[in-house]
Amino acid sequence: MIAIDLTNRTALVTGATGELGRVMARTLARSGADIIIHYYSSESKAKALKEEIEQLGRQAYIVQADMSSQESVQQMKRKLETEFRLPTIVVANAVSQYKWTSVLEQDAGDYVDQFNTTVMQLVHTAKAFVPHMIERRGGRLIAINTECAMQNFPTQSAYVAGKRGMDGVCRVLAKEIGEHQITVNQVAPGWTISERDRQNGTEVSEGYDSGVPLRRRGTDQEIANVVSFLASDLASYITGAYVPVSGGNVMPTI
């Protein structure tokens, strides 16, 4: 039986205290990785997640940073170097929230904000952690994208602009660092069922579900499973990929 084994690996999950971030962190830990829990403002959630991961028998370390700031990310790197260790798996998941509206009504600052927390997050994490991966002759950089980047629906412009920019950086970076056996891939969830949905009984959305070939929304665990796969040696020859996990709701063409 083939199993995902991340034993002796250290994974950084940015935005680890969010709905999807927590599930990805737990799943990577269950696969054997030690976890660096990044948070921006939810320290209490980070502490609770640390306890969960340690109960799984893995090490966990909490770190705070503003992922849109190069200096903040570099400070995080220095803290990890001195107090824990640097990761060879990085999951770029953090993104800021804002009100979605039309291009004509969207505040110009929202576009800058999305650029900084998607495109520049990836740039900052690459500058901080890829050199260590090069030294180790291997690593995984996994960016969380979205099905919206292919749909381009009304009111999505700021979010889509940031995620499509991140896509470009990922593809270029994959070509630049591939010789070091470092892979760069993107996981693109659809509208995902989270723990909040389970608590509120909002797992089903007939309007959305009816348009998905699998006729349902995906779960946070299904997204995390793909992330764990791409982090593993099972995906050692996959790089530069944009992988929709959307039940067929979006299908990249050749």
Active site amino acids: 159
The 3-state secondary structure of the chain, one letter per residue: CCCCCCCCCEEEECCCCCHHHHHHHHHHHHCCCEEEEEECCCHHHHHHHHHHHHHCCCCEEEEECCCCCHHHHHHHHHHHHHHCCCCCEEEECCCCCCCCCCCCCCCHHHHHHHHHHHHHHHHHHHHHHHHHHHHHCCEEEEEECCCHHHHCCCCCHHHHHHHHHHHHHHHHHHHHHHHHCEEEEEEEECCCECHHHHHHCCCCCHHHHCCCCCCCCCEHHHHHHHHHHHHCHHHCCCCCCEEEECCCCCCCCC
